[in-house]
Chains A and B, each alone.
Chain A
Amino acid sequence: MLYHQDALPRFFIEGSGLTRTKIGAEFLITAILFMPAIAFYRLARDSRSPMHVDLYLAASVCILSELFFAIYTARHDLFQVLGHVYKVVAYLLIYRAIFIQGIREPFELLRQQVGERRRAEEEVSRRKLAQAALEKSNRQLEDDDRRKNELIAMISHELRNPLAPIATSLVILDRAKPGSVPAKSALAVIGRQVKQLTRLVEDLLDITRLARDKIQLDRQRLNLSELVERTAEDMRSVFEQNGVGLESKIHSPVVFVSGDRGRLAQVLGNLLQNAAKFTPRGGNVQIAVETETGAAIVKFTDTGIGIQAGMLALVFEPFAQAEGGNNGGLGLGLALVKGLVELHGGEVTAHSEGPGKGSQFVVRLPLEQPV
């Protein structure tokens, strides 16, 4: 076309317009374009894909553009202008179809896949967390079940222990003469064992009440120093019986706290009994009352068997027993102490340098200012 223009057929004659060759060529192109227009229409109708719709629209606008170029008469007339505009529109539609297919759709697909993967990962993570929680809960349940069985065995054992001497004493009572020495001894045994049984049952009931918040404190303003002195005196016989010395150091004779006299006496009694039990013959226990800013402090220091570092955190747990087996109790004493002290708004802590180095229990209670 560039070099052999003479060989080209005539397409346009000035004055008379387009030649048959040009019009025929335009109609031939239009006829060819009808085929993709129909094909794309069918695809668009069935698939409703935006790419097919755009290609259908592009082929149809191309046809209209060709029609403009088949009917113009002047070289610069309006048909030429509109034909060019339609052509650009058709090209833009093809571009949109290609862009959708080549860039937008893969991008959307990737975005969808990333979203699905993220959702799947979140689901897996959620399931893992749920499974871990379930496994933890299972372990807890298994632990609880094991502890329950141990507890039942321990309670059964502790409740059965006094029954054998009681049964023996009943046989002696049946055979011995009333008022005789064996009868009196048998009655004393029965009395001691019933007292032991009563204490066990009371402790169990108290720990249950604490767990269910059923303990009601009969609060009153009381002198803690006086209560400590009195409880120490009450317990002195136990210490003498065990061959353990008991020393009271009351720094302030008047230390007022608000509390339930019976329950605080129970706390002090339990701690003293504990000290007496775990201090070997010849050892010493000291009970001291001090005051600090806003707090009354009672310290129980013994020269007993001490506590292992690992057990310090567990001594206040219900049914916790010192290593070495059964020490003649349910392991509820310190748990009751903790529960009752906390009920009074105070705290109790245990300290020990280790086995054989004694131990110290410190009770802190809110101080009540003297009136």
Chain B
Amino acid sequence: MTRADALAPSVMKRQAPAGASLVIATLGAFLLLVWLYVPRDPFAGAASYLPFHTFAESCSIVVSMMIFAVMWNAHSFDRSSGLVLLACAMLGAGVLDFGHMLSVSGMPRFVTDSSPDKGIAFWLAARMLVAAGLALAALRLERPMTLPGWRYLPFGIVLSIAALV
């Protein structure tokens, strides 16, 4: 058995991370380029920005839910408890992104009036959950789930956090 097989037994074709690093470098360079040279306000106001924002967040929410749905139902195949944690975190992020989408200024009243701070608070909570999910996934990627019912614990915690927020 090779080291690669020991780390991640897989029937999929192997892939080097060099290509991924190149993509990241390109995206980073693009960020710098935009920061240095491109005018900052392409939408010139909330009227044209809000549809884009709603569309982008809707995409995020749909993808978050798909991540959760796939991993939750495929958990019996999975050897990694880290990925189950990540899937639960993505569910929470999806719920919080929904709150963020409805709370940015310019959107109609969502329980209370919309404001930049309210939207940003939902945003930061969702981002924190995703970061924590990825960090836990990295820490527990190789660890298998010990009990089938174990996945309900992170599921409950994440939903509680989302409800609390």
Contacts and interface: CB of A to CB of B under 8 A. Distances in A.
Interface of A: 1-3, 5, 8-12, 14, 22, 25-26, 29, 32-33, 35-36, 39-41, 43-62, 64, 66-69, 71-82, 84-88, 91-92, 94-95, 97-106, 108-109, 112
A35 B135 contact: yes
A57 B27 CA distance: 11
A102 B90 contact: no
Contact of B11 (A22, A91, A109): A109
Interface string B1-39: 001100110111111110111011001101100110011
B99 A50 contact: no
Interface string B90-123: 1000000001000101000011100111101111
B134 A36 contact: yes
Contacts of B135: 32-33, 35-36
B66 interface: yes
Interface in B115-165: 115-118, 120-125, 127-128, 130-132, 134-135, 137-139, 141, 165
Nearest to A3: B112
| Chain A contact residues, majority secondary structure | helix
Given A50-B14, A59-B138, A108-B12, 20 more contacts: A1-B165, A3-B111, A3-B112, A26-B127, A29-B127, A32-B132, A39-B138, A47-B3, A49-B14, A57-B24, A64-B28, A76-B45, A76-B49, A77-B40, A84-B53, A88-B63, A101-B78, A102-B75, A103-B70, A112-B11
Contact of B137 (A1, A36, A44, A108): A36
B17 A53 contact: yes
A278 to B, nearest CB: 75
Interface in B23-80: 23-24, 27-28, 30-31, 34-35, 38-46, 49, 52-53, 56-57, 59-60, 63-64, 66-67, 70-71, 73-75, 77-78, 80
Contacts of A60: 20, 24
B162 to A, nearest CB: 11
Q: Which 4 A-B pairs have the closest CB atoms?
A: A102-B74, A39-B138, A44-B17, A36-B138
B14 A48 contact: yes
A30 B87 CA distance: 20
A81 B52 contact: yes
Contacts of B71: 98, 101-102
| Chain B contact residues, majority secondary structure | helix
A68 B132 CA distance: 19
Contacts of A74: 40-41
A91 B8 contact: no
Contacts of B120: 11-12, 22
A92 B23 CA distance: 15
B23 A57 contact: yes
Interface residues on B, range: 35 or more
Contacts, number: 236
A3 B83 CA distance: 33
Nearest to B141: A43
B43 A11 contact: no
A73 to B, nearest CB: 7
A55 B10 CA distance: 16
The CB with the most chain A CB atoms within 10 A, among B39, B45, B49, B131, is that of B131
28 contacts: A1-B121, A2-B99, A3-B112, A8-B118, A11-B121, A32-B131, A33-B134, A36-B135, A36-B137, A41-B21, A43-B7, A44-B15, A46-B7, A50-B13, A52-B8, A55-B137, A59-B134, A59-B138, A60-B20, A62-B131, A78-B38, A82-B34, A84-B57, A88-B63, A98-B83, A100-B12, A102-B78, A103-B70
A3 B30 CA distance: 39
A8 B121 contact: yes
Given A12-B120, A62-B130, A51 B11 contact: no
Contacts of B138: 35-36, 39-40, 43, 55, 59
Contacts of A109: 11
A98 B11 contact: no
A44 B141 CA distance: 12
A10 B115 CA distance: 11
A241 B16 CA distance: 102
A109 B135 CA distance: 28
Contacts of B40: 72-74, 77-79
